[in-house]
Amino acid sequence: LAQVSAATEKILQSVREVLGENGVQEEKREEIVQFTQVAIQKVLENYHQLPDWALEAIGATIDEKRTSKSYDGQGRTSWWFWPLVFSSTNPPETILQPHIAPGECWAFQGSQGHVVIRLPEHIWPTAFTVWHISEAVSPSGEVTSAPREFAV
């Protein structure tokens, strides 16, 4: 709820700024912002978020034996401290986390890969979503490594 509220405020502030930058008069600007706020509220009232069964926090796990190997980290940093090795590459379990941010992804080897996720209980799935960062937050300004096709 706090995130939705914060996002709504950012949207409304952006609307105010864009209207101001385009010379819309103050009283007209506030009227448009109020209409925008009503529209956002209507969308949120009709939006029903589906449960995310593929979260580690609720018991989802990765079947390592049937999942693609992680990218080996060429060009990434590894640290050797006998008898342990620490690497900056992320494991497949990374995809079971609720957040997405630059660098918080699981990279697999090659151009095609697969992952087997064990869900915490038997379900009848009705929708699937694959999340990836947008170009706007990508440090390189591109997302060419993002999944473009997937099958379930």
**pLDDT tens, position by position, for the chain (152 residues)?**
677 788 889 999 999 999 999 999 999 999 999 999 999 988 888 777 788 999 999 999 999 999 999 987 654 444 455 455 445 588 999 999 988 888 888 888 888 999 999 999 999 998 888 888 888 888 888 888 888 888 88
Query: Do 92 and 63 share a domain, yes or no?
Result: yes
Q: Tell me, yes or no, if the pTM score tops 0.75.
A: no
* C-alpha to C-alpha distance for 111 and 130, rounded to whole angstroms: 17
Query: Do 66 and 122 share a domain, yes or no?
Result: yes
Q: What is the pLDDT of residues 141-152, one digit of tens each?
A: 888 888 888 888
Give the chain's domain count.
Answer: 2
User: Rounded to whole angstroms, what are the CA distances from 45 to 3, 4, 11, 42, 49?
Assistant: 15, 12, 17, 5, 11
Query: How many CA atoms are closer than 13 Å to the CA of 80, on its beta-carbon side?
Result: 1
Query: Do 55 and 38 share a domain, yes or no?
Result: no
* C-alpha to C-alpha distance for 138 and 91, rounded to whole angstroms: 20
Query: Do 57 and 88 share a domain, yes or no?
Result: yes
Range of the domain at 123: 50-151
At residue 88, the pLDDT reads 58
At residue 78, the pLDDT reads 47
Domain of 145: which CATH number? 2.60.120.260
- The contacts of residue 70 (CB under 8 Å, 6+ apart) are 89, 90, 91, 92, 106, 107, 108, 109
Query: Do 77 and 122 share a domain, yes or no?
Result: yes
Query: Do 54 and 25 share a domain, yes or no?
Result: no
Query: Do 41 and 76 share a domain, yes or no?
Result: no
State the residue for tokens 């989802």: 60
State the residue for tokens 């087997």: 116
Query: Do 32 and 84 share a domain, yes or no?
Result: no
Query: Do 63 and 116 share a domain, yes or no?
Result: yes
Mean pLDDT, all residues of the chain = 85
Query: Do 8 and 25 share a domain, yes or no?
Result: yes
Contact 55, 96 (CB under 8 A): yes
Query: Do 12 and 64 share a domain, yes or no?
Result: no
Query: Do 42 and 4 share a domain, yes or no?
Result: yes
